[in-house]
Amino acid sequence: MKNIRNYSTKEKILISFSFWPTLLIGIALGLTIALLMLQNPQPIYLLISQIKFIVGVLVALGVLTRGVSIYLWRKYEWSFTSNLK
């Protein structure tokens, strides 16, 4: 297993990029739902219809960025074993 100091800059960026989709999409989804519920005095069933599009876009964005990261991992034939245990 490579030590973190031995990763190239390209590898460090790709490793970081692999975690961004999950982090950013999760935060965006949570904030979207929280803000809609706080700012709208409507019942939850009406809020669900309003956020369907937003959730769909966020999921599509997450799938797209995950696909890009998987493609780049395979293109450069890199493997990463986390040393965070």
pLDDT in tens, 26-47: 887 787 777 777 777 777 777 7
Report residue 71 as tokens.
Answer: 């493609």
Under a CB-based contact definition with an 8 Å cutoff, are residues 25 and 62 in contact?
yes
Q: Specify the pTM.
A: 0.56
State pLDDT tens for residues 13-22: 777 777 777 7
